[in-house]
Amino acid sequence: MEIFSLDLEGRQFSLETGRLAKQASGAVLVRYGDTVVLVTATISDEPREGVDFFPLTVDYEERLYAVGRIPGGFIKREGRPTEKAILSARLTDRSLRPLFPKGLRNSVHIVSTVLSVDQDCPPEMLSIVGASAALSISKIPFAGPVGAVIMGMVDGQPVINPTVEQTQKSDLYMVVAGTKDGILMVEAGAGELSDEDLLRCIEAGHQVIKKLVALQEEMVERVGVPKMEVPIYEPPAELVELVGPGLREKIKEALQIHEKQEREERLGQIKEELLATYLEEYPENEDDLNAIYNDILRESLRTMILQEGIRPDGRKAREIREITCEVPVLPRTHGSALFTRGQTQVLNTCTLATLRDMQILDGLGLEDSKRFIHHYNFPPYSVGEAGFMRGPGRREIGHGALAERALERVVPNEEEFPYTIRLVSEVLESNGSTSMASVCAGSMALMDAGVPVSKAVAGVAMGLIKEGEEVVVLTDIQGIEDFLGDMDFKVAGTKDGITALQMDIKISGLSMEIMGRALSEAIDAYRRILEIMNQAISEPRPELSPYAPRMITMQIEIDKIRDVIGPGGRMINKIIAETGVEIDIEPDGKVYIAAVDEEAGRKAKKMIEALVEDVEPGKTYLGRVTRVEKYGAFVEVLPGKEGLLHISHLDHRRVERTEDVVNLGDELEVKVLDIDEKGRINLSRKALLEKPPALEKRPSKRRFPRGKRKP
C-alpha cells in the first residue's frame, strides 16, 4: 500500500493505492476530510468493433450508507442513479475525455464509488482527481494527470473548496478541472458575477490544480506502470491520397450552403457518392472511407473559418443568428414562451403549484427537496430524425440542470413567493445551443406566469477553432461548429452579471487569455439577446394566470396546529371539502392555502383563523347547538370549541326542559361566563337577555313584623 498526501486548505488530502480493488487496471482511494471515494479504471484488451468514437464510460455510484442512511421505498437498496450522480459522472467524463489518444477504440470504464461523505468536502471533486490518478498509474494510455477544485466567492474573495457554511454565504459554486498547463472543464452557478471575478477564481483554482497534478506525478513515478500498446485507428494513407483531393473540393462547396437541412442533404449525397465510387474496389474499407470523409469534413470547416473567415451559415465570427420571441404561446398554461434563434427553437412552459409538490431528493447531499425545477426534453424530430422516445438521458439531464442553475439565482425565495415552480423546455428544432435557448425561453415563461423574478436571463454558446497559434472565437455556434470545433463554452446571465457557465474543450487545455476573451465576447452577446427578449416581455406580469393557484400564507402558533388538523384530520378535511382549497401546514406553524378561486381561499383562511382563535371570558359569540342534554346544551362558539350552556342559564324564567328553549342545530348568541382550570367553557344565554318586568323585585306585602304570627 502506498499513500500520497498533502495539506489542502487546512484539510488532509490523500491518494491511496495497492490495498483495494487490485485487479482493476488502476484503483485509488481518495480521502479529503472524512469524504472517501474509491475510483477504478479498466480497459478492454481489444478495440470495440464497429465504432467510430472513443467508448469511455464513467459511472458515479452513490451509496447511502456514506451518510448513514437506508434507501427509501420497498426494496431498500440503491436504484438508478440520481440526477446529482449523473451530473457528477458527467463532470468526471468531461474533465478526462480530451486527454485520451485520438483514434483509441478500446473501451475504458471508470467507476467512482462514494463510500463516506463529509459535507464540507464534496465527493464530485474527489471523483475527478481519483479517476485521473487511477488512469495515470495504470497501463491505460492517458495524457494526464488532471486536478480539480471547487471554488466559491465570499465577500468578494475566492474561496477554495468552501465548507457548507461558506457555501451558504458564497456568490459562486464552480468546479474547475485542468492540467498543470491549462483548463479543461468549468461548471458554475453564480450570483451575477463579473467576468473579472470569475477569471480570478479560475486562476486561483488553477494554482491548486497544479499542486494536485504534482502529487499525482509523484505517485506515477513511484507506483506507475508502463502504458499498454493499443492500436490507434487511422485510415490507410494511400486511400486518403486517392480520395482526398476530389472529396475535399466537394465538401468545401457544400459547407458554404447556409441552410442546415440543405447543407446536410448535400453532405449526405457526397458521402453516398464516395461509398458508391470506392466500395466496389475496396469492399472491406467502408469504415476507412467513413473516417476519411469525417476527417476531411472537419479539416475543411476549420480551414474555411480560420483562413477565410467564413462560417457555414455566412455569419461573421461575433454575429448572432436572427432571433424571434413570442409570449404567451399557450392559452391554459400558467406561463409560456417560444424562443427561436436561427434553426434552434425551444418552447418553455411554467407551472405553479403548492409547496407539497416540491421534488423530494434522496441522495448524499444536505438538501432533501427543491421547489424550482427545470426539465429539458430533446425529441428526435428536433433534428429531423425518426427515433425512440425514452426517458431523459445524461445529456438531457445535464442540459436541464445547466438552464436551471442559470435561472434559479433570479427566482424569488419561498417567503416572497411560496410556490413550487416547474419549467419544461421542449426542443422543437435543434441547430446548436438548445440549453442556452432554454434559458432564454425559461426566463420569458417565468415572467409570463407572473413569477416576480428579479431580472431577465439570457444565454449564448461560444465556440473555438484553434490550430497552432491561429485562434478564432465564435459567437452563437451552430451544431456543426460545435461538433467539429474545439470548445463549447456556454455563458448565461443578467444585464448585471453571470449566473451560470459551462465549458468543455476537445484540446489538451485552454489558456486564461483565450478563456477571458471568450467570456468577454459571450457577455456582450447575451446582453444583445436580452434586448431582443425585452421587446417581447421586459418584466413579470402583475397578476398570475387565472388558471394558477392563488397562495395565501398565514402564521399560527405551533400548539394550535392540532386544532386546525383536528382529530384524525377532521377539521382540516372539513375546510378542504367546503372550500376546495389545498392546505399545507409546516412544523413551524406556517400555513399555505392554495386556491384557484381567491374567494374560496379567503374563506378557508377565515375558517382557520376561527379554529386558532382563543375563547375569551366575557365575550359574546354566535354559536351553534351541537348537543342537547337534560342539564343544558353544548354550543360550539368557535370551530372545534364547545361550551356548556347550563339549563339555569337559558332564560331568566325557570326552564323545565332544555328543548323548550333550544334544539339541535339552533344558532344563538351566548356569553362566556368563565373557563375553569380544566379548560371547560361555561356559557350563558340569560346574561344577554333583558330581565322581564314581571320578574323585577316588588315590595313585601307583610303586615306584621318578621317573627310575629297573625292573630
Q: Rounding to the nearest 10 degrees, give the CA dihedral for residues 162, 167, 172, 175.
A: 50
Instruction: Summarize pLDDT for 127-156 with one digit per residue, the tens.
Output: 999 999 999 999 999 998 999 999 999 999
Taking CA atoms, 555 is separated from 233, 552, 584, 592, 598, in Å, by 68, 10, 12, 9, 19
117-143: b (≥16 Cβ within 10 Å) or e:
bbbbbbbbbbbbbbbbbbbbbbbbbbe
Q: Rounding to the nearest 10 degrees, give the CA dihedral for residues 279, 282, 288, 293.
A: -40
Grid cell at residue 625: 347547538
Q: Which CATH architecture has domain 550-612?
A: 2-Layer Sandwich (3.30)
CATH 3.40.1280.10 is right for the domain spanning 323-387+407-536? no
List CB contacts of 645: < 8 A, sequence separation 6 or more.
632, 633, 634, 635, 662, 670, 683, 684, 685
Confidence of residue 702 (pLDDT cuts 50, 70, 90): low
Percent of the chain topping pLDDT 90: 62
Q: What are the phi and psi torsion angles at 195 (to 5°)?
A: -65, -30
Which residue, among 141, 188, 151, has the nearest Cα to 44 in the 3D structure? 141
3 state DSSP class of 517: helix
Taking CA atoms, 693 is separated from 511, 647, 690, 701, in Å, by 103, 21, 9, 18
**Beta carbons of 565 and 608 less than 8 angstroms apart:** no
Rounded to the nearest integer, the mean pLDDT of the chain is 91
Confidence of residue 703 (pLDDT cuts 50, 70, 90): low
DSSP for 242-276 reads HHHHHHHHHHHHHHT--SHHHHHHHHHHHHHHHHH
Using the structure block, give the residue that is written with the C-alpha cell 292573630. Answer: 711
Q: Give the E-state strand segments of 430-568 in sequence order.
A: 458-467, 470-475, 487-494, 497-505, 550-555
CATH 3.30.230.70 is right for the domain spanning 2-223? yes
For residue 521, pLDDT beyond 80? yes
**In one letter, which amino acid is 546?**
P
Cβ burial, residue 518 (10 Å; 0-12/13-18/19+): buried
**In one letter, which amino acid is 136?**
S
Which residue, among 246, 329, 346, has the nearest Cα to 289 in the 3D structure? 246
533-549: b (≥16 Cβ within 10 Å) or e:
bbebbeebbeebbeebb
Average pLDDT value for residue range 270-281: 88
Average pLDDT value for residue range 29-40: 97
pLDDT for res 371: 92
Q: Is the peptide bond before 145 cis (omega within 30 degrees of 0)?
A: yes
Q: Is the peptide bond before 235 cis (omega within 30 degrees of 0)?
A: no
For residue 432, pLDDT beyond 90? no
List CB contacts of 642: < 8 A, sequence separation 6 or more.
626, 627, 634, 635, 636, 681
Q: How far, in Å, CA of 481 to CA of 317, rounded?
A: 11
Taking CA atoms, 515 is separated from 273, 439, 501, 518, in Å, by 41, 22, 12, 5
Confidence of residue 438 (pLDDT cuts 50, 70, 90): very high
Centroid of chain to Cα 412: 15
| Angle (CA) 631 635 639, round 5° | 150
Cβ burial, residue 1 (10 Å; 0-12/13-18/19+): exposed
For residue 116, pLDDT beyond 60? yes
Percent of the chain topping pLDDT 70: 97
Confidence of residue 639 (pLDDT cuts 50, 70, 90): confident
Half-sphere exposure of 641 (CA within 13 A, CB side): 26
Confidence of residue 219 (pLDDT cuts 50, 70, 90): very high
**Beta carbons of 193 and 498 less than 8 angstroms apart:** yes
Which is higher by pLDDT, 711 or 358?
Answer: 358
pLDDT for res 707: 56
Q: How far, in Å, CA of 217 to CA of 225, rounded?
A: 12
- What residues pair up with 31 in beta bridges, in sequence order? 14, 36
pLDDT for res 677: 85
- What residues pair up with 417 in beta bridges, in sequence order? none
What region, left, alpha or beta, does residue 569 occupy, with left being phi > 0 and alpha being psi -120 to 50 degrees? left
Query: 2-223 and 323-387+407-536: same fold?
Result: yes
Confidence of residue 698 (pLDDT cuts 50, 70, 90): low
Average pLDDT value for residue range 277-282: 85
Centroid of chain to Cα 348: 15
Instruction: Summarize pLDDT for 316-347 with one digit per residue, the tens.
Output: 999 999 999 999 999 999 999 999 999 999 99
Q: Work out the number of other CB atoms within 10 angstroms of the CB of residue 87.
A: 20
Taking CA atoms, 49 is separated from 55, 97, 106, 382, 709, in Å, by 11, 20, 9, 30, 133
Segment among 247-256, 361-370, 447-456 with least mean pLDDT? 361-370
Instruction: Summarize pLDDT for 398-415 with one digit per residue, the tens.
Output: 999 999 999 999 999 988
Grid cell at residue 653: 324564567
Superfamily of domain 620-695: Nucleic acid-binding proteins (2.40.50.140)
What is the C-alpha end-to-end distance of the chain, expressed in Å?
Answer: 128
Instruction: Summarize pLDDT for 37-76 with one digit per residue, the tens.
Output: 999 999 999 999 888 889 999 999 999 999 999 887 788 8
**Beta carbons of 123 and 88 less than 8 angstroms apart:** yes
How far is it between the farthest Cα atoms of the chain? Answer: 156
pLDDT for res 384: 87
Centroid of chain to Cα 704: 98
pLDDT for res 98: 93
**Beta carbons of 672 and 615 less than 8 angstroms apart:** yes
pLDDT for res 503: 93
Confidence of residue 214 (pLDDT cuts 50, 70, 90): very high
pLDDT for res 396: 94
For residue 35, pLDDT beyond 90? yes
pLDDT for res 387: 86
686-705: b (≥16 Cβ within 10 Å) or e:
beeeeeeeeeeeeeeeeeee
Q: What is the pTM of this model?
A: 0.85
For residue 456, pLDDT beyond 70? yes
Grid cell at residue 704: 306584621
Average pLDDT value for residue range 674-681: 88
CATH 2.60.120 is right for the domain spanning 237-308? no
Which residue, among 484, 487, 517, 485, has the nearest Cα to 502 in the 3D structure? 487
487-498: b (≥16 Cβ within 10 Å) or e:
bbbbbbbbeebb
List CB contacts of 535: < 8 A, sequence separation 6 or more.
325
Instruction: Summarize pLDDT for 616-627 with one digit per residue, the tens.
Output: 899 998 999 999
For residue 586, pLDDT beyond 90? no
Residue ranges of domains in the chain: 2-223, 237-308, 323-387+407-536, 550-612, 620-695
Q: How far, in Å, CA of 127 to CA of 119, rounded?
A: 15
**Beta carbons of 687 and 673 less than 8 angstroms apart:** yes
Confidence of residue 203 (pLDDT cuts 50, 70, 90): very high
Q: How far, in Å, CA of 115 to CA of 27, rounded?
A: 14
**Beta carbons of 481 and 461 less than 8 angstroms apart:** no
Q: How far, in Å, CA of 259 to CA of 342, rounded?
A: 10
For residue 708, pLDDT beyond 70? no
Grid cell at residue 667: 344558532
